[in-house]
A and B are shown apart, each in its own frame.
Chain A
Amino acid sequence: MAAGQEEPLDNTTWVETPEQVRFRYHVAGPTRRYLAYLIDLVIRGLAFLIISILVGVATGGGTNVSGLGTGMLLVLIFGMEWGYYVLFETLWNGRTPGKRALGLRVVKEGGYPLSFMDSVLRTLLRAADGLPPAFGFLPTYASGVLTAAVDKRFRRLGDRVASTMVVIEEPVRVAAAIVIDPAPTRAELDLLPARPPLSADEIEALDLFLRRNTLSEARRHELAAIVSPSFARRMGTTARDPLRFLEVLYVRIREQTVRKRDEGAPRTGAAA
């Protein structure tokens, strides 16, 4: 995903930092979190398998695993069941290998990193969120998914007790500027007012629409035909080709901000 314009608004949450900066976190939904859980489950299973083979070879050899080896293995299962999440979430600042693979991170509700005790609490509550178990031992997380589904920030029981949430964290690059081909001519641009009367939201919608190149040409025209006449009426003109009209309008708006550009007061960047 190049830019997050498809993200619906209902899975974002605002966080305000001590610097008085507000930014948005994208709360992770059920599918991603479940996949992360499955990845962690496979990793734990494989790790256990490998270590149990090693212990078997080292202590008893063959099938006759000694008592000490069995004891260690049982402690290891215990560690895998309860320690795995606490260990990784504490060491990796809210991530486990599975969460890392899916770009997830556990954070406190204020956007802060979670502490050891938070991780302990949300891990302990897995015993309730994991219910009911499949085959008597494998947590299905049905109750976790259900309780999360009724929460705005998709928190399972453990998240609520520990006041944590799971957010999506992916590096996003700034998308390239929109290129209109063929470039609008001066004559085309001058047909529109120098300051097109569009609200910020409308400009944003226009930007999103022009960036969305996954739509078929016919569909683009169809959508443009819905909105163009209303924009055109506002500007006292008519949109002969609705799509072209929107493209030219977009360039006109951008051109206007370029013309108003403040060229004094260049700011120095951060000290390198």
Chain B
Amino acid sequence: MKESQEAFVARRSKDWDALRDLLAHEKALHRMGAQAIATAGNLYRNTASDLMQARANGFTPDLVHALDQLAARAHSGLYSAPPYRLRAIAELLLFDFPATLRRHTRAFWIATALFVLPALLGFSTAFISRHAAMQILPEQMVESAEKMYSDGFDGRDEGTDASMAGFYIRNNVGIAFQCFATGILLGIGSIFYLVYNGLTIGTFAGLVTASGYGINLLTFVSGHGAFELTAIVIAGAAGIVMGYSLVATKGLTRMGSLQASARDIAQLVMGAALMLVAAAFIEGFWSPSGIPMRVKWIVSALLWLFVIVYLSFAGKARRRLRAKAST
């Protein structure tokens, strides 16, 4: 037995209007109290069944479309994503990020090689021939940098430190993100950025060393480098994982394979970004300070040790806890 469309609309439109009104301030739907949420839920379910009925009875497309839209909007209002708490960032840093990285050691070492080998090549090239190095780096940049490192560091004013820290956050995290994102092109973008960054950094270091100020540069870089260089390599590794998931699909479709690796990728890039923020503060405030070289070296050694231990071991305790809980 079929109800006419007119009668159907007349009977049901009161509920639709009520639902529409609730959705008008939909942003606060979850703050409107249990009563309102229950009402919205009821109205949504009834609207959904109205939609089925309208479709089954061959009611006019405008009605079906309007109900479609209403049900869809109520659906996105009612089902909201699990909230992301600050705790999740702590968990990411303490457990998930290092654990995920250890699941992708192969990509990590490939990325390291793609970064370190060009760096060594650039370094030796610059050491042997300044002329050759100038083909890689712009001369002006080299001269101003050489002047900076020849002077050594005896502390700057805090304002400059803060502005440089800001610059490093924007610049380096941006580079890391780009290094990662271009990995979508079957990994080629990430490989390019790793090699490119390795080559320029290596060449630069070679030039400064050849002019006899290598020790100043090493003192400057070694502290934040523990975080910064590692993070750039990790971002590149994440890009390689992403690109490789498009190549080796393990029986999934290419899209499916990409999406299956998405979680790991996101954790790696988020972890790398947080490491880069830490690096920016060290680079802005600690590295250029006038603290004696020996102290800086000791601190740098400790920072490297910390990064290595952190990436190798953090998060293992939780897996043991979980294993215990499940047995």
Residues of chain B within 8 A (CB-CB) of A128 are 181-182, 184-185, 189
Give chain A residues whose Cβ lies under 8 Å from the Cβ of B3.
261-262
Among listed B9-17, B111-119, B129-137, B219-227, interface-contacting one: B9-17
Q: Min CB distance, B202 to chain A, in Å? A: 24
Roughly how many angstroms separate A124 CA and B184 CA in the complex, as a whole number?
11
**In the complex, what residues of A have CB within 8 A of residue B51's CB?**
21, 23
Confirm or deny: B263 has a beta carbon within 8 angstroms of a beta carbon on chain A: yes
A237 on the B face (CB < 8 A): no
In angstroms, Cα B180 to Cα A121, docked, is 11
Do B159 and A125 have beta carbons less than 8 Å apart?
no
Q: In the complex, A238 Cα to B140 Cα: how many Å?
A: 88
The closest CB in chain A to the CB of B259 belongs to A163
Q: Is the interface of B mostly helix, strand, loop or mixed?
A: helix
Please give the distance in Å from A122's CB to the nearest CB on chain B: 10
Q: Which size bracket describes the interface of A in this complex?
A: 35 or more
- In the complex, whether B160 has a CB less than 8 A from a CB of chain A is yes
Which B residues lie within 8 Å of A73 (CB)?
166
Give the Cβ gap from B315 to chain A, nearest Cβ, in Å.
Answer: 18
CB of B63 within 8 Å of the partner chain:
yes
Contact with A along B281-313 (1 / 0, CB 8 A): 000100000000000000000000000000000
Q: How far is the CA of A161 from the CA of B45 in the complex (A)?
A: 32
0/1 string, A120-133, CB within 8 A of B gives 1: 11001111100100
Q: Is B154 an interface residue (CB 8 A)?
A: no
- The yes or no answer to B278 lying at the interface (CB within 8 A) is no
What residue in chain A is nearest B256 (Cβ atoms)? Answer: A163
User: Which residues of A come within 8 Å of B, CB atoms?
Assistant: 2-5, 7, 15, 17, 19, 21, 23-25, 66-75, 77-78, 81-82, 90, 92-94, 105, 107, 111-117, 120-121, 124-128, 131, 157, 160-163, 167, 169-175, 177, 200, 203-204, 207-208, 211, 254, 257-258, 260-262, 266-267, 269-272
Does B104 reach chain A (CB closer than 8 Å)? Answer: no
Contact (A160, B169) CB under 8 Å given A125-B184, A258-B4: no
Q: A113-B81, A254-B4 are in contact. Are A17 and B48 (CB under 8 A)?
A: yes
Return chain A residues, CB-CB under 8 Å to B170.
74-75, 77-78, 81
Given A71-B284, A113-B80, is A270 in contact with B60 using a C-beta cutoff of 8 Å? no
In this complex, what residue of B is CB-closest to A155?
A: B255
Chain A residues in 8 Å Cβ range of B2: 257, 260-262
List, sorted by A's number, 21 A–B pairs whose CB atoms are closer than 8 Å. Answer: A4-B65, A21-B52, A68-B159, A75-B169, A78-B166, A93-B77, A112-B81, A113-B80, A116-B88, A117-B266, A124-B180, A128-B184, A167-B72, A171-B23, A172-B66, A174-B62, A174-B63, A204-B61, A270-B15, A270-B18, A270-B43
Given contacts A71-B164, A92-B27, A262-B3, contact A121 B266 (CB under 8 A): yes
B173 CB-CB contact with A under 8 Å: yes
Q: Which of B15, B48, B259 contacts A21 (CB 8 A)?
A: B48
**B76 contacts A3, C-beta separation under 8 Å:** no
CA distance A90 to B180 in the complex (A): 22
Given A90-B84, A94-B76, A261-B7, are A68 and B39 also a contact pair (CB < 8 Å)?
no
